[in-house]
């Protein structure tokens, strides 16, 4: 059983160092535009899921975004550091794995879609995206969602 929308970050807020708090509930946090997705007991299907990170607008110069997907059997993942599994990191070719820099997210290149395939036996999934600094660095209306059918072959 999947959450109806499979949306981890809804793109309603500008992603800055002040608004990059990871989700702690399956209810969308309006301040941060994020939610934990309940994929059901037993985790992903056998062929896994794909997390899609969409960067629709050029980033502010010198901004960096560290991003990964986490899973847990506990919805509120902030209560403990144990039981949280990092499933993979988002990255674009020129940066260190898991770090996206502003020079990779320019007006000439956007929108950018970063794809991360994963599988897990954990029930809850969230995106954990961190922007350097506070409001002076910005990746704007970032979206992140899960896709069960990407790359399906016939």
pLDDT at res. 47: 86
pLDDT at res. 77: 82
Answer yes or no: is 51 within a domain. Answer: yes
**Would the pTM count as exceeding 0.95?**
no
pLDDT in tens, 71-90: 999 998 865 566 889 999 99
Q: Is the predicted pLDDT of residue 20 greater than 90, yes or no?
A: yes
Nearest residue to 71 via CA among 23, 9, 30: 23
Answer yes or no: is 61 within a domain. Answer: yes
pLDDT at res. 26: 93
How many folded domains does the chain comprise? 1
Q: Which domain holds residue 86?
A: 7-147
CB 70 within 8 A of CB 144: no
Answer yes or no: is 154 within a domain. Answer: no
């Amino acid at each position: 059983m999947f959450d109806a929308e499979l949306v981890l970050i809804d793109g309603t807020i500008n992603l800055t160092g002040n608004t990059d708090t990871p989700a702690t509930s399956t209810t969308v946090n309006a301040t941060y535009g994020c939610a934990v997705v309940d994929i059901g007991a037993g985790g992903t299907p056998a062929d896994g899921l794909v997390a899609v990170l969409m960067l629709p607008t050029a980033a502010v110069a010198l901004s960096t975004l560290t991003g990964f997907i986490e899973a847990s059997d506990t919805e509120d993942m902030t209560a403990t550091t144990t039981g949280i599994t990092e499933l993979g990191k988002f990255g674009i070719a020129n940066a260190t794995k898991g770090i996206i820099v502003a020079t990779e997210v320019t007006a000439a290149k956007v929108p950018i879609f970063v794809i991360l395939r994963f599988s897990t036996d954990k029930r809850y999934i969230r995106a954990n995206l961190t922007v350097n600094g506070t409001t002076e660095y910005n990746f704007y209306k970032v979206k992140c969602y899960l896709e069960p059918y990407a790359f399906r072959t016939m």
